[in-house]
Structures are given as C-alpha cells and as structure tokens.
C-alpha cells in the first residue's frame, strides 16, 4: 500500500506518542527492517518484543504502519487499538484508529462493542484510580483531624465530601472492570466455526477489522460474538485479543 510507505519513513524518529519506545536495540533493528520495506520480518520482530514484555504504544504504532504498508489493514487496526489500550490519552493514536476504521468501512460501533471498556480507558487516561486513592486517604485524614480538633459546622462536611469525590473517581475504573474482553479480526475472510476444531463447519465470516467480545477461550480458539449477534469459534491467529500482548 503506497499510503503506508511515507509513514514508515518517520518510524521511530518522531513517533507522536507519550510512551517512549522500548530502550532496546531490537526495537531499532525492527524499525530498520520496516524502513527497508521488509514488513514481514519487521512485524515478526515487533511481535517478539511484545511477547518479551517490551510493550509500548510506540511499538504498536510502528507495527501498525508496517502492517498497513503490507496490506494487512485489520492487523494495523488491531495494533493501533492495542496502542490505545496502553496510552488512552494519545490523540495521534486516536486519529489513526479513526483513519483505519474509515479505510475498512467500519462503523464506530463495530470497533467498540463494549461501552464499559471506554470507561476503563477514561479512568486510565486521567489516572482516576490514583485520584480516588488520594481523595479517600484525604477524607480519612480530614475526619481524624476534625475529631481531634473538635471543629463543628461546615468543616465537618469536608471528610464526607472527599469520600464522595473519591468514590465517584473510582466509578469509571470499576465499570471498566466489568467489560468483556475483546478481540479484533486481523485477517480478511476469517471464518466463524460452530466448534473449536479445524474440521468444524464454518457458520459465517467475520469482517476484517471488526472488534468482537470474547466469550470463551480454549487453546488456539476463541468463542466470539460478531456485531450481528452470531456466536461461534474463531482461530486466535485470525482474531487477536486487545487485552494482552499478541501470541503471534
């Protein structure tokens, strides 16, 4: 894809991401492979880095550009969505997600089947878990201080107010924890099977790039529900999870 090549020229030089690239020579080597248009080897190198624990939004950004340049738009969208999971506040990542979604002709709802997952990203973006902990701690301190000093009137409302604010700050994170895990279809023409077996009958085809809830996992298979409500089994190699590093 010609549109992906100009983007690759800037790989790892000025990636517009808040998370630093892995401080590892393997990352630079992977980027050199991408610049040389050896996209399969570059993607394999990025995948190995991810498996080793060297995940970052920058890594998945570059992975997405390599995948897009090689024509794998579904994989590119998955990688960019994974980058968004790691860095929810990066606007460049969000813009690239929208560009890839549009290129795949997907509705916004087709890449966001779990509304509660957005609440979790919102919490991570603004570190609401930390904000909540601080507010709850301050409420305890305020309550103890007011008891010791014997204050009355409006000052007595400070502790309860901080407590309420702390609980409210925790709500998005708690809501996000109830979201089902999701996965993105990375291969065009990926089949949906009636059972977790290569000999099972195919009951449908998943749209490249669509994000589907994961209902169950066993071995190299995922039981998913597509955006039309059909449920079945798909190969994990075709439908890649968003809540963990790739196993590829």
DSSP 110: G
Instruction: Tell me the per-residue pLDDT of 168-208, one tens digit each, with 9 for 90 and over.
Output: 999 999 999 999 999 999 999 999 999 999 899 999 999 99
Q: What mean pLDDT is reported for the chain?
A: 88
| Region 144-161 average pLDDT | 73
Half-sphere exposure of 127 (CA within 13 A, CB side): 5
Give the span between the Cα atoms of 64 and 103, in whole angstroms: 14
Give the span between the Cα atoms of 73 and 219, in whole angstroms: 26
Domain range holding 35?
4-105
- Collapsing DSSP to helix, strand or coil, 204 comes out as strand
Give the span between the Cα atoms of 165 and 58, in whole angstroms: 34
Give the span between the Cα atoms of 22 and 57, in whole angstroms: 10
11 lies in the same domain as 86: yes
195: domain CATH number?
2.30.30.40
- Collapsing DSSP to helix, strand or coil, 193 comes out as strand
CB 192 within 8 A of CB 226: yes
Return the percentage of the chain with pLDDT > 70, whole number.
87
- Supply φ then ψ for residue 137, to 5 degrees: -65, -45
Give the span between the Cα atoms of 76 and 188, in whole angstroms: 12
52 lies in the same domain as 142: no
Instruction: Tell me the per-residue pLDDT of 64-121, one tens digit each, with 9 for 90 and over.
Output: 999 999 999 999 999 999 999 999 999 999 999 999 999 999 999 999 999 999 999 9
* pLDDT score recorded for residue 242: 96
Residue 111 maps to a domain: no
* pLDDT score recorded for residue 116: 93
* pLDDT score recorded for residue 15: 46
Q: Domain tally for the chain?
A: 3
56: domain CATH number?
1.25.40.10
Give the span between the Cα atoms of 94 and 24, in whole angstroms: 26
96 lies in the same domain as 138: no
Tokens of 214: 């994961």
Return the percentage of the chain with pLDDT > 90, whole number.
74
* pLDDT score recorded for residue 10: 46
* pLDDT score recorded for residue 3: 47
149 lies in the same domain as 203: no
- Supply φ then ψ for residue 76, to 5 degrees: -60, -45
Residue 55 maps to a domain: yes
| Position 157 confidence tier, pLDDT thresholds 50, 70, 90 | confident
55 lies in the same domain as 100: yes
95 lies in the same domain as 35: yes
Of the candidates 173, 60, 175, 171, which has an alpha carbon nearest to the alpha carbon of residue 114? 175
* pLDDT score recorded for residue 246: 64
| Position 155 confidence tier, pLDDT thresholds 50, 70, 90 | low
Residue 224 maps to a domain: yes
């Amino acid at each position: 894809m010609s549109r992906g090549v100009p983007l690759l020229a800037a790989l790892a030089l000025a990636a517009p991401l808040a998370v630093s690239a892995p401080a590892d020579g393997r990352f630079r080597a992977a980027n050199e492979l991408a610049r040389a248009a050896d996209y399969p080897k570059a993607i394999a190198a990025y995948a190995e880095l991810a498996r080793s624990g060297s995940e970052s939004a920058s890594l998945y950004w570059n992975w997405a550009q390599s995948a897009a340049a090689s024509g794998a738009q579904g994989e590119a969208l998955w990688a960019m969505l994974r980058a968004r999971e790691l860095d929810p506040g990066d606007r460049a990542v969000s813009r690239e997600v929208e560009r890839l979604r549009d290129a795949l002709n997907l509705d916004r709802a087709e890449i966001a089947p779990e509304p509660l997952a957005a609440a979790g990203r919102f919490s991570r973006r603004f570190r609401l878990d930390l904000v909540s902990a601080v507010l709850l701690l301050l409420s305890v301190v305020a309550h103890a201080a007011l008891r010791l000093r014997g204050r009355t009137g409006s000052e007595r409302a400070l502790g309860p107010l901080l407590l309420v604010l702390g609980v409210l700050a925790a709500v998005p994170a708690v809501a996000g924890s109830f979201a089902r895990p999701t996965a993105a279809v990375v291969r065009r023409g990926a089949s949906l099977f009636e059972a977790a077996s290569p000999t099972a009958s195919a009951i449908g085809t998943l749209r490249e790039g669509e994000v589907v809830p994961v209902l169950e996992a066993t071995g190299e298979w995922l039981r998913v529900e597509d955006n039309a409500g059909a449920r079945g089994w798909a190969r994990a190699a075709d439908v890649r999870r968003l809540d963990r590093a790739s196993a590829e």
